[in-house]
């Protein structure tokens, strides 16, 4: 079996299914991006396409967390949002540089994605997850985090 670039591990769980599911998807997408930067041939086009998919999904996922945090008046919202915004800004900057062919170092970007995601999940998202789990014990959290509502 080929070793995956990123692997979901239950230790990454923040205790909230919707967030965990999206993190699992994000890991899959990052693996696709990693594969895209290892492919020969139309490497540049393939990588940029995969990068766009990653950026779209990251935006969607951050949107979910953002909505949850605002709904519960999360006390650490500003800090958490700042981390998301800084990350998006950095990834967009790198994407822009690729598209303008200023630099081409796909491995560096994929590694940055991996390192940032793992540390953000382990610290910042876990803190949010723990807060939500504690809320659940005292209220109707399911209604709050239902993405369809």
Q: Interface residues with Fe ion (CB under 5 A)?
A: 65, 125
Q: Check if the beta carbon of residue 29 is closer than 8 Å to that of residue 53.
A: yes
| Shortest Å, Cβ 10 to Fe ion | 18
Nearest residue (CB) to Fe ion, 45 versus 119:
119
Q: Check if the beta carbon of residue 18 is closer than 8 Å to that of residue 147.
A: yes
**Nearest alpha-carbon partner for 113 in 64, 60, 58:** 58
Give the Cα separation of 24 and 8 in Å (integer): 6
| Shortest Å, Cβ 124 to Fe ion | 5
Tell me how crowded residue 94 is: count the other CB atoms within 10 A of its CB: 19
| Shortest Å, Cβ 65 to Fe ion | 5
| Shortest Å, Cβ 17 to Fe ion | 15
Q: What is the number of the residue whose Cβ is closest to Fe ion?
A: 125
Nearest residue (CB) to Fe ion, 44 versus 87:
87
Give the Cα separation of 1 and 33 in Å (integer): 19
Nearest residue (CB) to Fe ion, 26 versus 33:
26
Tell me how crowded residue 120 is: count the other CB atoms within 10 A of its CB: 16
Nearest residue (CB) to Fe ion, 20 versus 65:
65
């Amino acid at each position: 079996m080929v070793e995956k670039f990123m692997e979901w591990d239950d230790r990454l769980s923040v205790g909230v299914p919707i967030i965990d599911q999206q993190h699992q998807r994000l890991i899959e997408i990052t693996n696709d991006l990693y594969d895209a930067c290892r492919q020969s041939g139309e490497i540049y086009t393939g990588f940029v396409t995969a990068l766009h998919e990653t950026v779209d999904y990251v935006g969607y996922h951050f949107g979910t967390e953002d909505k949850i945090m605002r709904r519960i008046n999360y006390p650490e919202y500003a800090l958490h949002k700042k981390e998301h915004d800084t990350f998006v800004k950095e990834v967009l900057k790198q994407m822009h540089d690729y598209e303008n062919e200023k630099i081409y170092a796909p491995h560096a970007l994929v590694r940055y994605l991996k390192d940032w995601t793992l540390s953000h999940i382990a610290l910042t998202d876990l803190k949010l997850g723990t807060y939500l789990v504690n809320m659940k014990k005292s209220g109707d959290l399911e209604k709050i985090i239902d993405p369809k509502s």
